[in-house]
Structure formats: C-alpha cells, structure tokens
Structure 1
Amino acid sequence: MAGLLVNIDVPDRAAAERFYVEAFGLTPLRRFGNNGVELAGWPVRLYLLQKAEGTTGAGADPRRYARHWCPVHLDVVVDDIDAALAQATAAGATVETGIRTDSWGRIVTLADPFGHGICLVQFLNRGYDEIATPA
C-alpha cells in the first residue's frame, strides 16, 4: 500500500473549500480546474471534489447533500475540543450532540454544510489505550 487519500464530494467546491479552511485551518495546495482542490494540514491530504446533487455516486445511489448517515466519516483529533468546536461552528458546521466525555477522551459530533458527518475528538489520559485490548 502506498498511501491514503481522503476525497469528499461536495456540491460547491468554493464553498466547501472556505468551510474546511475556516473550520480546520487547512491550506489549499492545488486546484484541479474549478471542480477540485487539494487541502493540506492533516496527516493525509483532503480532496474536495465538486459533484452535482443527483448525479450517480457509488453504485446506483444518487448523490445527496442533505444530512445523511454514512458508516465512513471524519474523526478530527484536536488539542482543545471547546476551541475547535467554536471554530467549526463559526465556519458553518452543525452540532449534532453535546460534548461527551469518556475515559479515553472527549467527542462531539457535527455535520459539515454538505451533510457529511464529522467528529471532533480530544484524547485524554492514554487515549484509546484506556479501552484497548490486544488483537
């Protein structure tokens, strides 16, 4: 395996770029015409790809940008969940739950303006090692 790319389909590339830059401090690196942008600032590059609502996504499912559930989502690890939550909501994220604290850390669930789920995670103590067992 050579690496990992994270691609997010959005209906408006410019609006999505503004959101991810303002919400998470990411930096645009390259644009691919008007329909794509590569963002840096996380351990993997994030690609925002403009795809019209209703066009075919995976399989035969049409793309939709209202809030939707998907088993794949972003967990953004932050140092200060309160500050990160304020920054994300100021940029346009929707808060879906309150901040929850567990032995491993704190978590809050959000949605970006395009319906994609995002969790902010702040590790405490030993992080996931608090609940992990050997495989």
Structure 2
Amino acid sequence: MATLLVNIDVDDLDRAIHFYTGAFDLRIGRRFGGAGVELVGANAAIYLLVKQADRPPFPGSTSPRSYARHWTPVHLDFVVEDLDGALVRAEAAGAVREGDVAAHAWGRIVLLADPFGHGLCLIQFSEKGYDAIATNA
C-alpha cells in the first residue's frame, strides 16, 4: 500500500500555519527550518512548503505560481461531524466561502478557498454517506 503525503505550496509559512491549525485543529509535527512544516492530526500528514509566488513551479513551465484564487481538479476535502461549526471556524481562520451549503443524499458540502487560493471543501456525511448513491459495478 502506498503512503499518501499532502503538500500545499504557500508563500507565507506563519500565515499558513495559523490558517490550517486554526481552521482544522491540526498541529505542528516537525519543522523544516524556514522551508516548511509538517501538520499532523488528519488521516494523512500535510506539508506546508514555502514556494515564492511569480516563479515557475517547475522547469519549462510557462505559467508562474500564483496565490490568487485558482482552480485545480485536485483539492482537499475535510470530513467533519458538524459542518456549520466547522464552517464558522474555517471562516474565522481566513477561509473564503464560495457558495451556500449544499445538501445531497450523501450529506452536506460547502466549497471554500484557503488564504493561498487553494480550493477545499467541508463535508458532513449523512448516515449512509456515499452508500446513499453507490451503484453496483
């Protein structure tokens, strides 16, 4: 089985630590000098990595790294037991809500952006969760 590590590029490590520890009750595991920090308390460790804005993210890239709101098909979902309480906490820490809370057969969800433009969601599953919409393969 593979081990999953989650890396989040940020341009302000202290601000990122404040947001992710305040919004999601994560805590610092290890520090890597001024280059990054490991956050623990979720199912997978989250690594906040300092990467300067306006620089190419990889050699040959034509798009510079930006911390304005951006879209990517990969994002974080934080599963919570109390979506309303978690939303208050996330917004107080600096998250920006990107719509109303939506209800589905599998549960409730709200879309957010962190202070670095990364999309994330808060999800509160119903009693059946995804089994409410699962079909046989």
TM-score, structure 2 length as denominator? 0.95
8 Å CA contact 1:81, 1:121 repeated in 2: yes
1:118 maps to which of 117, 120, 136: 120
Q: Which residue of 1 aligns with 2:19?
A: 19
Cα distance between partner residues in 2 of 1:68 and 1:115: 6
Q: Residue type matched to 1:106 in 2?
A: R
CA-CA distance at 1:125 after TM superposition: 2.3
8 Å CA contact 1:103, 1:125 repeated in 2: no
Identity %: 58
1:109 maps to which of 100, 108, 111: 111
Unaligned residue ranges in structure 2 (runs of 5+)? none
SS in structure 2 of the partner of residue 47 of structure 1: strand
SS in structure 2 of the partner of residue 71 of structure 1: coil
Q: Residue type matched to 1:118 in 2?
A: L
Q: Which residue of 1 aligns with 2:102?
A: 100
CA-CA distance at 1:54 after TM superposition: 1.2
Unaligned residue ranges in structure 1 (runs of 5+)? none
